[in-house]
Amino acid sequence: MTRLFRLSLMILLFTASAALAQTQTPAQFPATPAGTQFSGWLAAFNTHDRATFLAFLQKNYPDRVAHIDDTMAFGNQTGGFDVIKVEKCEELTCTVLLQEKNSDQFAEATAEVDPAPPHVLKKIGLNAIPRPAGYAIPRMSQADAIAALRNRLEKASGAGNFSGAALIAKDGKPIFTAAYGMADREKQIPNTLDTKFRIGSMNKMFTATAIVQLAQAGKLKLDEPLITALPDYPNKAWASKVTIHQLLTHTGGAGDIFGPDFDQHRLELRTLDDYVKLYGKRDPTFEPGTQWDYANYGFLLLGVVVEKVSGEDYYTYVREHIFKPAGMNSTDSLPEDQVVANRSVGYMADESGTKTVPNDPSLPYRGTSAGGGYSTVGDLLSFANALENHKLLDAEHTALLTTGKVDTNRGPRYAYGFFEEKTEDGEVCFGHGGGAPGMNGELRVCPQSGYTVAILANQDPQAATNMARFVAARLPAK
């Protein structure tokens, strides 16, 4: 399993949560070849013991021996799986409903075995799925939900599975705050509420807010093509088709910025224009407006649009027009080679998945309009409050920014730099997450109930996201 698969299975944004169910133990699998093999695989996988799992693979799933480290890392991230239901188990195939031990995420697993004895495993497929009907999580009282989160954070921190800070606010005011783990293990500096955590794609919220501010001011139109703002863009054919709206909603086919080219030029990419020079001539991944596909490069280009339309450097613009008005004094995207007080060290899993190491080798030169800046949980609350109190945009444009526009393959609808989710009990919330090696964060704003959840971690996904989903599913809806 690749890192990309591991991350896609657990889904880096908040999704509708629902409830814990009674689990079915592996001993309850039917005694078919497929049932016996999958039961054995799951039991070995859930031990998190490399020697035990390797012994099982060598005997029963030899094709996956070479991928054991990736699978072990996946196991550490998910915590393993509980069996919720054996859906169908025949002689050669077995389909099972699972739930991650570290989260409320459900998955469907299908195992196939070789027809000939000893019926070694040929394939195990795992797919993240929305929580099935009938497994809804009952809402709790505010006090019980906070107590449940505190208990989960303390257990996860004690096990080394959470290092970061958490905040819950009601009607704009914090009602729960806590910090766990180390901001710098070598220097023994603990995380606090003032610790600045890298936030990955959460920068997209600020970029989208900047674009809508410029639209509100009449300086650009959201339905105009990119070439209007960037007449010198290298791929003029695509720039003449793709609109600002499509870039904001990931429907423009802009593609990603990560991959071999990024790895080769990581420290050379110092400005937004540097990214355009590297990627500006390539063709779109699909015809603009025909589908949804999360595109970091699209938000990189929106940052360039902010610069061209406003006449200000992107970083200066968001600092002056978003961070300062919102009272966000600990949020920015200064280069990694600059000393930033209270900025944590990120810790990512190594290739074996058995230990963590600093994430320095994976970091860009600095955060961009697509992601990679840093913030605190308190600053994220200040941002949410500024949006809700219309300090950044008027009511009409705030709604335009945060209301879902297009369906996604991740559950919630995508707005402009925000996901919008409607839960089963009718609550509508918006926010965005961020995740990369050694960093994870989540902001969730629920205007109807008045709750805001902000959780940041200096660990791999889904350390913060799982916690945010957990408590958001249990807080009172209204």
Among candidate residues 323, 302, 314, the one with its CA nearest the CA of residue 271 = 314
Q: What is the pLDDT of residue 241?
A: 98
118 and 264 part of one domain:
no
Among 83, 101, 129, which residue terminates a domain? Answer: 129
Among candidate residues 465, 460, 459, the one with its CA nearest the CA of residue 195 = 459
Q: What is the pLDDT of residue 69?
A: 86
303 and 378 part of one domain:
yes
Whole-number Å distance between alpha carbons of 208 and 220:
13
Q: What is the pLDDT of residue 172?
A: 98
Which is more confident, 400 or 129?
400
Q: Is residue 432 in a domain?
A: yes
Among 84, 103, 129, which residue terminates a domain? Answer: 129
pLDDT confidence tier of residue 73, bands split at 50, 70 and 90: confident
**Cα dist. 437→56, 60, 440 in Å?**
29, 32, 8
Least-confidence region, from 1-10, 189-198, 373-382, 407-416: 1-10
pLDDT(327) > 90: yes
Range of the domain at 303: 139-478
Among 109, 129, 149, which residue terminates a domain? Answer: 129
* Percent with pLDDT over 70 in the chain: 94
270 and 412 part of one domain:
yes
pLDDT(310) > 70: yes
204 and 124 part of one domain:
no
Q: Which residues contact 391 (CB under 8 A, 6 or more apart)?
A: 325, 326, 385
229 and 165 part of one domain:
yes
Whole-number Å distance between alpha carbons of 402 and 341:
32
Range 43-54 average pLDDT: 94
φ, ψ for residue 53, nearest 5 deg? -70, -40
439 and 305 part of one domain:
yes
Peptide bond into 118 cis (omega under 30): yes
99 and 188 part of one domain:
no
3-class secondary-structure state, position 54: helix
121 and 144 part of one domain:
no
* Percent with pLDDT over 90 in the chain: 85
Q: Which pairing describes strands 347-349 and 356-358: parallel, antiparallel, or unpaired?
A: antiparallel
What one-letter code names the amino acid at 96? V
Q: Is residue 12 in a domain?
A: no
Q: What is the pLDDT of residue 425?
A: 84
Range 139-148 average pLDDT: 97
251 and 382 part of one domain:
yes
Q: pLDDT tens digits for 183-226?
A: 999 999 999 999 999 999 999 999 999 999 999 999 999 999 99
User: What's this model's pTM, rounded to 2 decimal places?
Assistant: 0.87
Which is more confident, 424 or 8?
424
Tally of domains within the chain: 2
Q: pLDDT tens digits for 420-467?
A: 999 878 899 999 999 999 999 999 999 999 999 999 999 999 999 999
pLDDT(26) > 50: no
244 and 356 part of one domain:
yes
- Mean pLDDT over all residues of the chain? 92
Q: What is the pLDDT of residue 353?
A: 65
